[in-house]
Amino acid sequence: MANVETKPVIHEEDLLIEEYGYDDHFHEHHHGDKYQSNFITTYIFSQDHKMIAKQFLITGMFWAIIGAAMSLVFRLQLGFPEENMAWIKPLLGKWITVNEAGVGSLAPEFYYALVTMHGTILVFFVLTAGLSGTFSNLLIPLQVGARDMASPFLNMLSYWFFFLSGTIMFLSLFLNTGPFAGGWTAYPPLSALPQASSGSGAGMTMWLVSLVFFVVSVLLGGINYITTVLNLRTKGMTMWRMPLTIWAFFVTAILGLLSFPVLVSAFLLVMFDRGLGTSFFLSEIFIGGQALDHVGGSPVLYQHLFWFLGHPEVYIIILPAMGLVSEVLSVHSRKPIFGYKAMVYSILAIGFLSFIVWAHHMFMSGVNPFISNFFVIFTLIIAVPSAVKVFNWIATLYGGNIRFTAASLFAIGFVSMFISGGLTGIFLGNSAIDIQLHDTYFVVAHFHIVMGVAAFFGMFAGIYNWYPKMFSRFMNETLGKIHFWGTIIGAYAVFWPMHYLGMAGVPRRYYRFDSFAAFGQFDAMNQFITIAAIVTFGFQILFVINFFYSIWKGKKMTTRNPWGATTLEWTTPINPGHGNWPGKLPTVQRWAYDYGKDGKEFIPQIQPLGKDEKEGH
């Protein structure tokens, strides 16, 4: 061993980039990176999109653990309302009330706070910032062949506004009156009257401030993503050569940019109602025996504004997951994605339709039934592009030489979840059936499967697949597979039974059901759901351990392109610095899905077309 000479390893990618690449004189003005020179600028106020991606991911994981732990507490209440909860008093303090017999129970107002925070945290902090923030940041510059985002500085601000937003929300958990408890949708009057409930005072104020900062973060990120995709693609990277991940992030950013400002307008009007006595959303109200000054406001107006964001928001959550899954499925089944252009057009169609279906969240709010018809039709039309995507994923898998890695298992699991959850969406999109099903556990089951669990599956697929690019090491595959099977079985065990509860009319957001004789028969089912939720949470802890252990102790990445993928991010060095490619920028010669073409397993995008070779599509 001692005599082995170490030859300098020559990478084929480097030769290709050197021969065909575009020289942007990166080195001439790159005398040391003054933006990445010490600990603070490298790890904290970093302007490198790869580091910002990791910051988003780890902050998102922190929030995911908190949000999921909250769900366990209220699941305990729902499954075992009679049990003694005094043991959790050291953590929750006065929110657990202990009676003379020493039996502790969860305070009802805190139950509502937990439900509200669970929704807010998961929707905004985990599945928007943690998912789209992580992977848009990591993959957009790497896959379009850019040195960094259009404005690395705004990109850094985007993360720190998210951090600020999270800090404010976190502090609101420790308020004496508790965090906001009026539901994640924050409908007035609970959100607009500080005296409406204990969480509507300081809790709601902090909730509003936190989410305004969050919107700033989303907008700063989105402006960057759109500009980078449109302006900083490398030579040869035409729109039709972009991987589906980039298409998905691009449309996601457009949705966010057009819908989040509407939420800010709604929030501003709520703030005026709360603090300055206007009556945008407050009608004539008696509270505590007192008539308020407000006259003639419309709470339904808030719902319109909220859901004009709220519906695109669910696609902001699911589109990035769809993009990641498309890429992972194609790479791991060693086949081109089936129907690439149909996939792109479906993303665009879903993005467009998402703006004209918002009132399907309001069928039972007293909107005009004729208007409901309009929204029913467009809602059901979304099934078409969704079905196109599902068909294409399955067709991509069909006949593929599938590698069942943790990443591809989660991608396949995503397709399963998306089908299950999507089908129940067709029920709920119908305004007549919605009369029975609205605000029941059927709705809870539907959206948790289709945008909660499915989006998590997309995120896990992305993490397992791109972990080597982030940390130059692999996560443990065996633990990853255990994580997958535990999660998919667990998630179905949690959410499948909820459909039956919902069909029987069990309403969501109720603290306990013992005054309703009709729901007594579901006690055992509620216990089952709670136990399944606890077990599923345990598997996520396994994932967290695997994630952090692997950062330092995982198997080292020895080749640049461990999955044999075609896209540009795998042509960078194993541990890419700020700027991604050490020399020239790669140029793109072909589309992103040349797998199994001309007898080759895969052909990277930087490989020029051969003689007489036609570009595949």
Partner 1 sequence: MNATVARTDYRRSKIHPKKFALLVACASMMMMFAAFTSAYIVRQAAGNWLEFRMPDLFYFSTGVILLSSLSLHSSYLAFKRGNTRVYRLLLSATLVLGLAFVVLQYQGWQALADIGVELTTNPSGSFVYVISGVHAAHVLGGIAALILAMLHAFLLHHRVTPARKLRFELTLIYWHFVDFLWVYLLLFFTLQ
Provide the minimum distance between the beta carbon of 225 and partner 1 in the complex, in angstroms, as a whole number: 10
Tokens 């700033």 belong to which residue? 216
Provide the minimum distance between the beta carbon of 237 and partner 1 in the complex, in angstroms, as a whole number: 11
Among 16, 66, 122, 262, indicate the residue that binds partner 1 (CB under 8 A).
262
Q: Is 544 in the site for partner 1 (CB under 8 A)?
A: no
How far apart (Å, rounded) are the C-alpha atoms in residues 354 and 599?
Answer: 41
How far apart (Å, rounded) are the C-alpha atoms in residues 125 and 128?
Answer: 6
Which range in 79-87, 114-122, 218-226, 486-494 contacts partner 1 by CB under 8 A? Answer: 218-226
Q: Is 259 in the site for partner 1 (CB under 8 A)?
A: yes
Closest by Cα among 242, 112, 240 to 178: 112
How far apart (Å, rounded) are the C-alpha atoms in residues 4 and 14?
Answer: 24
Q: Which is nearer to partner 1, 91 or 295 (CB)?
A: 295
Q: Is 285 in the site for partner 1 (CB under 8 A)?
A: no
Q: Which is nearer to partner 1, 183 or 261 (CB)?
A: 261
Among 20, 24, 58, 72, indicate the residue that binds partner 1 (CB under 8 A).
24
Q: Would you state the torsion angle of the CA atoms of residues 142, 147, 148, 150, taken in this order, to the nearest 10 degrees?
A: -120
Closest by Cα among 442, 314, 444 to 379: 314
Among 278, 365, 416, 527, indicate the residue that binds partner 1 (CB under 8 A).
278
CB 181, CB 112: distance < 8 Å: yes
Among 55, 191, 210, 224, indicate the residue that binds partner 1 (CB under 8 A).
224
Helices (H), 145-243: 152-172, 202-231
Q: Which residues are within 8 A (CB) of 321 and not within 5 positions of it... i.e. 6 or more apart?
A: 131, 414, 454, 455, 457, 458, 459, 462
Which range in 13-21, 183-191, 217-225, 345-353 contacts partner 1 by CB under 8 A? Answer: 217-225
Provide the minimum distance between the beta carbon of 21 and partner 1 in the complex, in angstroms, as a whole number: 12
Which range in 76-84, 146-154, 179-187, 335-343 contacts partner 1 by CB under 8 A? Answer: 146-154
Q: Is 280 in the site for partner 1 (CB under 8 A)?
A: yes
405-427: b (≥16 Cβ within 10 Å) or e: bbbbbbbbbbbbbbbbbbebbeb
Among 304, 334, 473, 508, indicate the residue that binds partner 1 (CB under 8 A).
304
Q: Is 161 in the site for partner 1 (CB under 8 A)?
A: no
How many residues can be counted in the chain? Answer: 617
Provide the minimum distance between the beta carbon of 165 and partner 1 in the complex, in angstroms, as a whole number: 18
How many angstroms separate the Cα of 89 from the Cα of each of 95, 98, 181, 533, 537? 8, 9, 20, 21, 21
Among 119, 152, 339, 586, indicate the residue that binds partner 1 (CB under 8 A).
152
Closest by Cα among 327, 313, 311 to 359: 311
CB 51, CB 43: distance < 8 Å: yes
How many angstroms separate the Cα of 347 from the Cα of each of 318, 321, 322, 336? 11, 12, 9, 18
Which range in 30-38, 60-68, 191-199, 566-574 contacts partner 1 by CB under 8 A? Answer: 30-38
Among 35, 345, 510, 537, indicate the residue that binds partner 1 (CB under 8 A).
35
Number of residues this chain uses to bind partner 1 (CB under 8 A): 59
Which range in 148-156, 202-210, 315-323, 523-531 contacts partner 1 by CB under 8 A? Answer: 148-156
Among 76, 107, 209, 264, indicate the residue that binds partner 1 (CB under 8 A).
264
Q: Which is nearer to partner 1, 100 or 293 (CB)?
A: 293
| Pairing assessment for the beta strands 104-106 and 96-98 based on DSSP bridges | antiparallel
Tokens of 609: 């077309």
Q: Give contact residues for partner 1 (rule: CB under 8 A).
A: 22, 24-26, 29-30, 33, 35, 47, 146-154, 219, 222-224, 226-228, 230-232, 234-235, 257-262, 264-266, 268-269, 272, 276-280, 293, 295-298, 301, 304-305, 308, 578-579, 585
